[in-house]
Structures are given as C-alpha cells and as structure tokens.
C-alpha cells in the first residue's frame, strides 16, 4: 500500500495493518473480517468466525477483524462495499472470498479446500508429517502378522494424536488381529458420529464386524473335504469361507465366496457377496488385491 500523500494517522493505520495482518499472512492463513458496531449481521456471524478460527488455529489459521468505521482507508483499499465481508489472505494477497459462507460447516469446507492448495505449516500439519511414517510403520507391522506389536505401536500413536482417524482405525484393526475383540469394541463405542464417517474408521469397524461374523473353524480340513464331496453345498462352503477368513487366508476365502455367487448370486439374501465386500473394505479399497478380486466379482456377475 502506497503511503505518499497520506496523513500521519493514515500511515500509522497502514503500518498497523502490515504488522497485524500482512506479516502473519506470510506464514498463516488470515481470515480477514470487515465489520462495524452498527452491523447486526456482522455481530451475528462473529461467533461462527471465532469458533472456526479457534478450531483451525492448529492448522495455521488466524482471525483478524477490521472495523470499517475506524479503518476507512483499509476498507477502501479492499473496495469494501457491504459488510460483513470476509476474505482469506495468504502472503498478503486475498486467496478466497469467504463471505458466502454463513454456517460453521460451510466455512470449514471452504477453509479445508484452501488449506489443501497453499503451503501452510501449522501445528496440525507438522504433526501430520511426523505421523505419516509412524502410521506406515504400524501398518507394516500389522501386515507382517505381528498384531501384538502393532497394538503397541498404535497405542503409542494414540497418545500423540488421540483424534487422528487413521491412528484410531489402525488400533482397532490391530486389536481385532490380535483377537482382542473386547478392546476393539471399546474403541468403536467411544467413536463420535463424525469419526464414524471417516473411511479409515469405516474400514476398522468392518474389520471388527468381519471378525465377529467369520468364526474360527476348529477343523478346516474336515470342511474342505465336505465341500469337495458336495460342491453345491453352499452352507458348508460359506462356513469354510468364514473359517479361512478367520485364519487369515483371504485368497481361499474369496475363491469360495465367489464360487457361491457363481452358483447362486442371491443365495441367502446375498450373504456371500456381502461378506466378500466386507473383506474388501477390511483389506482396503485401494489395495491391488481388492482391485483384482473386484474384477473377478464383476466377471462372475456379468457373464
């Protein structure tokens, strides 16, 4: 902002704006709220702005308020024609007009979109960078079959990030893999409705459901022989698939479930297909194994 020809008060106002708004915006996302004492909509929206700014503080978001009556020069520079007007500033430049947002959900959605596109490094982002390799380590340990150690890893991560969906989901799945069903159920019971919507949590809950439905079979060899002798016995084949799943043999389990679907796709109210889809969710929708099994399922259903 040029200061040539301005009064001392105006130059001071500009310096204050640079110090309080522009400088913080170099490393943070500044929510800039233009308001006035006489503006009822401004006062009605203020609690929403303050709440969201507080919730996003760890992500590098800060709220700054500009009273247009006391800062007419700043308001003019931003060409403010009506209030409330709310901008998002980064590195001294407006990056979004937040004025259309009128609810906490709308404002949060807009901020989430902005934060994905700019290099803000708040506490939350720093924590996420630390967690990514640690979560990967926990997943590797779990995939290797060392469930008790995976439980230990994810319990340590919970202490670092108790609200992190991937950490919570990992701990639930580790408990399930370790046969600690009661512990997994306790973790699920503590979830909030919002957390339950996360894909990582959904996957973990499916793992728990699957573990409770796929009952271990004491004598798999006997069931295998029974199915070999009576290939059309879908009840026995379904029981065998569950036993194989409980034993960790997902390939054989998928084979038998797909065979049931091939024989009678709607058998027992789609029980085989439902169990197979739960298995996909537990393994992970983006996993190459799931992609391959989905192709097999499609081939069975559409040929």
| Interstrand relation of 85-90 and 29-35 (parallel, antiparallel or unpaired) | antiparallel
What SS3 class is residue 245? helix
Q: Which residues are bridge partners to 8 per DSSP?
A: none
The one catalytic residue among 21, 30, 42, 147 = 42
Contact 90, 118 (CB under 8 A): yes
Q: Is the dihedral of CA 111, 112, 114, 118 positive or negative?
A: positive
User: What angle in degrees, to the nearest 10, is found between the helix axes of 267-283 and 250-263?
Assistant: 150
Handedness of CA 169, 170, 174, 177 (dihedral sign): positive
| CB within 8 Å of 90: residues ≥ 6 apart | 25, 28, 29, 30, 114, 118, 120
154 Cβ neighbours under 8 A, 6+ residues apart: 138, 167, 170, 171, 174
Which is the catalytic residue, given 21, 31, 32, 39?
39
Tell me whether residue 60 is one of the annotated catalytic residues: no
39 labelled catalytic: yes
Residues annotated as part of the active site: 39, 42
């Amino acid at each position: 902002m040029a200061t040539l020809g301005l009064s001392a008060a105006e130059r001071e106002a500009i310096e204050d704006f640079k110090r309080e708004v522009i400088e913080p915006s170099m490393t943070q996302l500044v929510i800039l709220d233009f308001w006035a004492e006489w503006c009822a909509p401004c006062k009605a929206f203020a609690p929403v702005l303050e709440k969201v700014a507080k919730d996003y503080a760890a992500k590098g978001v800060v709220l700054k308020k500009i009273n247009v009556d006391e800062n007419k020069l700043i308001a003019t520079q931003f060409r403010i024609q009506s209030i409330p007007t709310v901008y998002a500033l980064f590195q001294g430049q407006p990056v979004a007009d937040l004025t259309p947002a009128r609810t906490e959900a709308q404002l949060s959605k807009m901020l989430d979109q902005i934060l994905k596109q700019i290099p803000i490094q708040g506490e939350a982002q720093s924590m996420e960078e630390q967690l990514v390799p640690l979560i990967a380590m926990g997943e590797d340990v779990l995939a290797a079959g060392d469930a008790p150690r995976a439980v230990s890893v994810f319990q340590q991560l919970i202490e670092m990030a108790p609200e992190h969906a991937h950490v919570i989901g990992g701990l639930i799945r580790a408990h399930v893999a370790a046969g600690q069903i009661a512990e997994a159920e306790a973790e699920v019971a503590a979830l909030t409705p919002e957390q339950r919507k996360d894909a990582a949590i959904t996957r973990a809950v499916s793992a728990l459901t699957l573990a409770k439905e796929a009952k271990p079979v004491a004598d798999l060899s006997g069931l295998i022989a029974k199915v070999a002798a009576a290939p059309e016995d879908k009840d026995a084949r379904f029981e065998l698939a569950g036993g194989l799943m409980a034993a960790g043999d997902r390939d054989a389990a998928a084979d038998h479930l797909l065979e049931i679907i091939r024989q009678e796709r709607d058998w027992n109210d789609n029980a085989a297909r439902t169990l197979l889809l739960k298995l996909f969710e537990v393994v992970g929708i983006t996993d190459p194994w799931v992609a391959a099994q989905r192709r097999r399922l499609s081939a069975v259903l559409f040929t």
